[in-house]
Amino acid sequence: MRKALVVLAAVCALALSAGCGSAPEVESAAPPPAATVKPVVPTNAVTSAADSVGSVPGSADAKFVYRFRQVEPTSGSSGTFSFRDRDLSFSFRPSPNALYFQVENLQGRAVQLDWDRSVFYDAHDRSGKVGHNTTRWRDRFSVQTYTLIPPQQRYSDYVFSLDDLLDPGADAEQQLRRPLLPEDASATTYSGKTFGVDLVFMIENQPRTYTFRFQVQSVIPR
């Protein structure tokens, strides 16, 4: 009898042990999906820089109009934005959107524009890398390809500070950035400010820097 009781107790103990081991584990709740953070786009952001052929640079709905003058190098003719030497001829068109330019190769051999060596100087006395027509958000830390200008050919583009690029979100091919100068009520605080660019060209395998500076001569209501 005692032996039977011992065997029965052992069987019960095994049954209890098996019951505990088969108890379902408590599952932890899955974390909520991460929220998609959209980049904050300033209200004055621009997505293109098509040059204006009008006499007054700036947006059609701008509240203020800028007047500029070239301070370096000094232009031979008043009111123009140009420079010429034996190799290259430049013409510029400063605007609140970007700094437009055209360069002509005057010689019989190709030259190259070295974007990575070039430097942009904004109206806040900051300097940095140069962005231009084909530059996108993804190119901020990449080496930019030289631009080849064939003999006796012209090249047109616009430049801005690479630091002004903004994240375009899903549209990676869009060039989204801050304008060069504001056209709202804060425009009047930019009178007398200077901005410009140092463009570096490879001429006969040697780098040559061309320095251009422009000053906001006046800001007037439209």
The CATH number linked to 151 is 2.60.40
Give phi and psi for 84, each to the nearest 5: -150, 135
Percent above pLDDT 70 for the chain: 73
Distance, in Å, from the CA atom of 103 to the CA atom of 105, rounded to the nearest integer, reads 7
Residue 106 maps to a domain: yes
Residue 53's pLDDT is what?
47
pLDDT over 50 at 6, yes or no: no
Residue 181 domain-assigned? yes
Give the domain range for residue 194.
64-221
Q: Which residue has the higher pLDDT, 109 or 80?
A: 109
10 within some domain: no
Taking the alpha carbons at both ends of the chain, their separation in whole angstroms is: 113
> What's the pLDDT score for residue 11?
45
Q: What is the mean pLDDT of the chain?
A: 84
Query: Is the residue at 7 inside a domain?
Result: no
Judge whether residue 51 has pLDDT over 60. Answer: no
> At 101, which amino acid appears?
F
Give me the pLDDT at residue 144, please: 95
61 has pLDDT over 90: no
Q: Does the residue 76 lie in any domain?
A: yes
- Tens digit of each residue's pLDDT (9 = 90 or more) over 114-126: 999 999 999 999 9
Distance (Å, whole) CA 147 – CA 207? 14
In a domain, 39, yes or no: no
Do residues 210 and 114 touch, judged by C-beta distance below 8 A? no
Residue 150 lies in a domain: yes
Beta strands in the chain (DSSP E): 64-72, 82-84, 88-94, 99-105, 111-121, 127-128, 130-132, 147-149, 154-161, 165-166, 176-177, 194-203, 206-221
pLDDT score for 88: 98
Q: How many domains does the chain divide into?
A: 1
Is residue 25 packed enough to be buried (19+ CB in 10 Å), middle (13-18) or exposed (0-12)?
exposed
List 210's β-bridge partners, or say none.
199
- Single-letter code of the amino acid located at 22: S
**Overall average pLDDT of the 148-160 stretch:** 98
Check whether 26 has a pLDDT greater than 80.
no
| Predicted pLDDT at 121 | 98
- In this prediction the pTM is 0.77
Q: Is residue 69 part of a domain?
A: yes
For 64-108, the pLDDT digits (tens) are 999 999 999 986 555 689 999 999 999 999 999 999 999 999 999
Residue 180, Cβ density class (10 Å: 0-12 exposed, 13-18 middle, ≥19 buried): buried
pLDDT tens digits, residue range 184-211?
989 999 999 999 999 999 999 999 999 9
Contact 54, 181 (CB under 8 A): no
Identify the CA nearest to 99 among candidates 220, 217, 197: 197
